[in-house]
A and B are shown apart, each in its own frame.
Chain A
Amino acid sequence: MIEVVSESRCVECNICVKVCPANVFDATGGVPVIARQDDCQTCFLCEIYCPTDALYVAERADGPLAITESDVEERGLFGSYSRALGWKRGKPGGSELDPTHRIRVAQV
């Protein structure tokens, strides 16, 4: 579930408010707030759309883990999913390097 909005990283662009398909965030005029955490579908998409890697979604979908911003920072997890995909500053990238075709061949 979505757990952290980093105040120090956030540039208050409200992109997360717009793109979250589950309408989890509310705009405030400043840093958005997690208003409906239980509606989060743990899709990690807000992380990759955030231009400054200010969001962190924990791996547990069934309920919050209460991980803190400093834990996430220390473990280098901010933006880790974007990097794995090849998305940068909230923009798509990296699908041209997707090796999934090799997995599909190996699958049979």
Chain B
Amino acid sequence: MGLNRKELADKSSLHLQTDVLVIGGGPAGAWAALSAAQNGARVILADKGYLGTSGATAPSNTGTWLVPPGDNRTNIVERRWQRTGNLADQRWMLRTVDQAYENLLKLAEWGYPFPDDEDGRLYIANLRGPDYMAFMRRRVLKAGVTVLDHHPAVEFYFDGEAVTGAAGVDRQRDRDWRVDAGAVVLATGGCAFHERILGAAALTGDGHLMAAEAGASLSGMEFTGKYTLAPYGSSLNKGLPFRWASFYREDGTPILDADGRPLQNGIGEREKDIARAMIEAPVYAVLDQAEPALQDWLRRGQPNCFVPYDRAPVDPFAEMFRVTFRAEGTVRGTGGIRIATSDCGTDVPALYVAGDASSREPLVGGTSGGGGPNSSWAIASGWWSGQGAAAYARRRGDTAFCTSSRPLGQAGLRPAALAKGALTPRDVIDSVRAEVIPLEKNYFREGGRLQASFDKIDSLWADVKNHLSGEGTALTRLKAREAAAIAASGRWSIVAALARTESRGMHRRSDFKTSDPALAHSITLRGVDDIVASSAEQGQREVAS
């Protein structure tokens, strides 16, 4: 169901009411909308971009974590748990694979064109991004959901007890929108710190900032040390082909590891060595470990990986090409908004969270959320949050529409002091990136460097909070708010990295090289300006103000 022509043509702002508002149209938001609608709710889905192309899945080719039911399931989950840095929760892992499996079967039933495997059975463990999300869009529209494309949300409305809806901008018509809702599902994806990776344009952490302003806590924000190889200057942060890569210097000499062996396989244990080599000098790769049959499967199975090579042009199986590590923020990291209830409710009444916007620590702990678990998580958490939100809205009745609510947005929207035009969103983002992107600061971490980064980002934050404003068009307001959200997310990441005085998963500290058993629990952050860090063991501790 779309809006009628008159509603869309009208220049004045749009104000709607619904049972469930879903913010974000990646897989998590799409599944949330479907499940809320199936549970009888009227649903509106607002996406910053376009439901079908927006977010991290749409341009990619995502493998799911598929574990069919049966006795072996517990063993597989147990084995995976051992890789999570002891932070995951096997109950969440089991229920995630269970729900994801069920929903993947639903996709097959609905006619999604899965390929066959060698034995002629449907292979449902992989979803090709553009096809999957185009399919989900059709399904969501068919379920009667009102879809608002190019309608980014910028803030929540709150009545003192619960969230009552959200507001944002219609960036193509330059006007405001507001939706009153019985419950809200936040599915805005991760924060990619403006790195030019696939799908990241919209992933600026807006949802993290909105939720924190409403009082939600975050966890796992220190796990932002995930980087993936890509052809230099490209957006193709897909590690898979580099499984068959060898690495060289510009003059063609092989790069050796500490034991004198040539560096190969960029997605395994050797990633660290490649990162170290890249800090010293440019690194080149050839995919020369791939047999001809594999070359063909790679080309046909991961066609987007070959777009940069074919357009350059270069033959990646025979010729050297320069590579880079792209930072992935919380996208293939694991942190986000903390989940408080089994139906993906947060600490804030009426607010649910799904997909990369939420902390995926219960599923993957401190190791990468990509490579299977994340897409299964988007499906399962989307489904549960839609159910939870529909049930909440039903219990709440119409009270969300009659209370007096106020908008919560601060940084980037309503500066605390005089707006200064000289502070541009671009400058803010560049300053954050200088602290959270370089390998030598964020891949290899160290207390002194983290503290220096914190000092910089903390004074930047004071400027953002006091002076950043995007007065003007819908677009300029959105850009200012996005910059504020990136700054807030970067600041949380550094605060959490300082608090975790050990190495665990993708959080690597040279001043604390090993894991500390006493720190085998998650670190929770609360607050936007004054950040309070706490963990089960240490209790609460104010670490930044």
Interface residues of A (CB under 8 A from B): 17-23, 39-45, 48-49, 58-62, 77, 80-81, 84-85, 87, 92, 94-104, 106-107
Inter-chain contact count A-B, CB under 8 Å? Answer: 150
Q: How far is the CB of B237 from chain A (nearest CB, A)?
A: 10
Chain A proximity mask over B105-139: 1 for CB below 8 Å, otherwise 0:
00000001111111000010110101110110000
User: With A81-B304, A85-B128, A101-B126 given, can you name 12 additional A-B contacts, CB distance below 8 Å?
Assistant: A21-B54, A23-B171, A60-B234, A62-B196, A81-B303, A84-B303, A96-B114, A97-B115, A98-B128, A102-B301, A103-B297, A103-B298
B240 at the interface (CB under 8 A from A): yes
- Contact of A21 with B233 in the complex, beta carbons under 8 Å: no
Q: How far is the CB of A19 from chain B (nearest CB, A)?
A: 5
Specify which chain B residues have a CB less than 8 angstroms from the CB of A103 in the assembled complex.
240, 294, 297-298, 301-302
Specify which chain B residues have a CB less than 8 angstroms from the CB of A97 in the assembled complex.
115, 300
Distance of A20 Cα from B58 Cα, bound (Å):
11
Distance of A98 Cα from B117 Cα, bound (Å):
10
Q: Which of A20, A21, A61, A99 contacts B234 (CB 8 A)?
A: A61
- Contact of A48 with B130 in the complex, beta carbons under 8 Å: yes
- Contact of A43 with B53 in the complex, beta carbons under 8 Å: yes
- Contact of B243 with A98 in the complex, beta carbons under 8 Å: no
CB proximity to A under 8 Å, residues B384-404: none
B4 at the interface (CB under 8 A from A): no
Of the listed stretches B80-88, B255-263, B305-313, chain A binds B305-313
Specify which chain B residues have a CB less than 8 angstroms from the CB of A95 in the assembled complex.
112-115, 128, 131-132
- Contact of A59 with B308 in the complex, beta carbons under 8 Å: yes
- Contact of B311 with A100 in the complex, beta carbons under 8 Å: no
Q: How far is the CB of B159 from chain A (nearest CB, A)?
A: 32
Chain A proximity mask over B197-224: 1 for CB below 8 Å, otherwise 0:
1111110000000000000000000000
Q: Which of B50, B114, B135 contacts A19 (CB 8 A)?
A: B50
- Contact of A100 with B126 in the complex, beta carbons under 8 Å: yes
A39-B201 contact in complex given A104-B125, A107-B243, C-beta closer than 8 Å: yes
Q: How far is the CB of A42 from chain B (nearest CB, A)?
A: 4
CB proximity to A under 8 Å, residues B281-319: 294, 296-304, 306-308, 310-312
Distance of A48 Cα from B130 Cα, bound (Å):
9
Q: Which of A21, A42, A104 contacts B202 (CB 8 A)?
A: A21
Specify which chain B residues have a CB less than 8 angstroms from the CB of A81 in the assembled complex.
303-304, 307
Q: How far is the CB of B284 from chain A (nearest CB, A)?
A: 16
Specify which chain A residues have a CB less than 8 angstroms from the CB of B126 in the assembled complex.
98, 100-101, 104
- Contact of A99 with B300 in the complex, beta carbons under 8 Å: yes
Distance of A13 Cα from B202 Cα, bound (Å):
24
Chain A residue, CB-CB nearest to B306 = A84
B190 at the interface (CB under 8 A from A): no
Q: Which of B50, B297, B310 contacts A18 (CB 8 A)?
A: B50
Distance of A100 Cα from B523 Cα, bound (Å):
37
A-B contact pairs, 17 of them (CB 8 A): A17-B172, A19-B52, A19-B53, A20-B49, A41-B201, A43-B53, A43-B59, A43-B201, A43-B235, A61-B234, A62-B233, A81-B304, A84-B300, A96-B114, A99-B296, A101-B123, A103-B298
Distance of A33 Cα from B202 Cα, bound (Å):
21
Distance of A72 Cα from B303 Cα, bound (Å):
19
Q: How far is the CB of B316 from chain A (nearest CB, A)?
A: 12
Specify which chain A residues have a CB less than 8 angstroms from the CB of B113 in the assembled complex.
95-96
Distance of A40 Cα from B197 Cα, bound (Å):
10
A100-B302 contact in complex given A22-B49, A44-B59, C-beta closer than 8 Å: yes
- Contact of A21 with B50 in the complex, beta carbons under 8 Å: yes
Distance of A85 Cα from B310 Cα, bound (Å):
14
A44-B50 contact in complex given A18-B149, A95-B115, C-beta closer than 8 Å: no
Specify which chain A residues have a CB less than 8 angstroms from the CB of B243 in the assembled complex.
107
- Contact of B130 with A22 in the complex, beta carbons under 8 Å: no
B231 at the interface (CB under 8 A from A): yes
Q: How far is the CB of A56 from chain B (nearest CB, A)?
A: 9
Distance of A69 Cα from B288 Cα, bound (Å):
33
- Contact of B297 with A102 in the complex, beta carbons under 8 Å: yes
Closest A-B pairs by Cβ, 10 of them: A21-B49, A43-B59, A21-B54, A100-B301, A41-B201, A84-B303, A42-B235, A59-B308, A61-B235, A22-B201
Distance of A49 Cα from B149 Cα, bound (Å):
16
Specify which chain A residues have a CB less than 8 angstroms from the CB of B201 in the assembled complex.
21-22, 39-41, 43
Chain A residue, CB-CB nearest to B25 = A21
B370 at the interface (CB under 8 A from A): no
Chain B residue, CB-CB nearest to A91 = B134
Chain A residue, CB-CB nearest to B48 = A21
Q: How far is the CB of B24 from chain A (nearest CB, A)?
A: 12
